[in-house]
């Protein structure tokens, strides 16, 4: 069974600070997705990374997929209160035409205080 | 695009009641849909994979007779929690993958259903 360790579990910072969230696994994933979830709502996709070593930027968010496709990080620059939420990483099993299951990390609950 | 609608958003009912939750892909077809359960302050746990026209695949520990899944069309999957009890209270979320397309397409999630059993 593949596991995805996400850390930290909780993070409370002041507006303007930088932060990094990590997802690590001993297994290889075909792709890895980052989601953000607000209370009482479903997860919303932020990004999908597919290639080992891939870096994607989404405004102040930078996502990186490890060279071996076993780990990923999310870095937020100059965090704002609007970034508050639950961030989830999810690794996809399966390759090619296989629509594999997602293995979710436990999530990082981020709170950005003004 | 890729909108998934889940209904109802909230259900409160008495113990012993059966509850049906619908998951619809509004602007795409989905051969495969997934049902998750999320307890407070925890991550999403996959319950089952719903396949159009065939039986669902359940994860270990999930009772298929209690959580009935029907995926009768390419745009609709339903989850029925039969004879629900207070311990079934949770946040249930569905997701769908567009049929066809590239192999690493992400799952698109509904907004979830908050189920409270009294």
Burial class (CB in 10 A: 0-12, 13-18, 19+), A35: buried
| Distance in angstroms (rounded) separating the CA atoms of residues B61 and B78 | 20
What is the arithmetic mean of pLDDT over B11-36?
A: 94
User: Strands B10-13, B113-117: parallel, antiparallel or unpaired by DSSP?
Assistant: parallel
Contact (CB<8Å) A31/B41: no
* Contacts with B60 (C-beta within 8 Å, 6 or more apart), sequence order: none
Tokens of B11: 């259900």
Residue B31 has what pLDDT?
87
- Of residues B104 and B14, the one with the higher pLDDT is B14
Residue A96 has what pLDDT?
46
What is the arithmetic mean of pLDDT over B36-58?
A: 89
Map tokens 């907004």 to a residue: B111
Low-confidence ranges of chain A (pLDDT < 50): 96-99
Residues of A with CB under 8 A from a CB of B: 6, 30-31, 33, 35, 40-45, 48, 50, 88, 90, 92, 94-99, 101-102, 104-107, 109
- Of residues B85 and B53, the one with the higher pLDDT is B85
Which of A96-105, B79-88, B95-104 is the least confident region?
A96-105
| Distance in angstroms (rounded) separating the CA atoms of residues B23 and B1 | 16
Contact (CB<8Å) B104/A50: yes
Residue B104 has what pLDDT?
60
């Amino acid at each position: 069974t593949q596991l995805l360790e996400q850390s930290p579990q909780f993070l409370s910072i002041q507006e303007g600070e930088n932060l990094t969230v990590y997802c690590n696994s001993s297994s290889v994933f075909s792709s890895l997705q980052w989601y953000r979830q607000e209370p009482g709502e479903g997860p919303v996709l932020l990004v999908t990374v597919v290639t080992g070593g891939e870096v994607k930027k989404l405004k102040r968010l930078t996502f990186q997929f490890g060279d071996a496709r076993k780990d990923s990080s999310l870095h937020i620059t100059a965090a704002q209160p609007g970034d508050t939420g639950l961030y989830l990483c999810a690794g996809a099993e399966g390759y090619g035409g296989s629509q594999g299951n997602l293995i979710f990390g436990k999530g990082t609950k981020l709170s950005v205080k003004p | 695009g890729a909108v998934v609608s889940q209904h109802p958003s909230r259900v409160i009912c008495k113990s012993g009641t059966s509850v049906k939750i619908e998951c619809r892909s509004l602007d795409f077809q989905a051969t495969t849909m997934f049902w998750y359960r999320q307890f407070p302050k925890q991550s999403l746990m996959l319950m089952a994979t719903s396949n159009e026209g065939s039986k669902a695949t359940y994860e270990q520990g999930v009772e298929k007779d209690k959580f009935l899944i029907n995926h009768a069309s390419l745009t609709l999957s339903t989850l029925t929690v039969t004879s629900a009890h207070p311990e079934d209270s949770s946040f249930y979320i569905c997701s769908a993958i567009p049929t066809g397309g590239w192999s690493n397409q992400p799952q698109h999630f509904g907004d979830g259903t908050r189920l409270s059993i009294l």
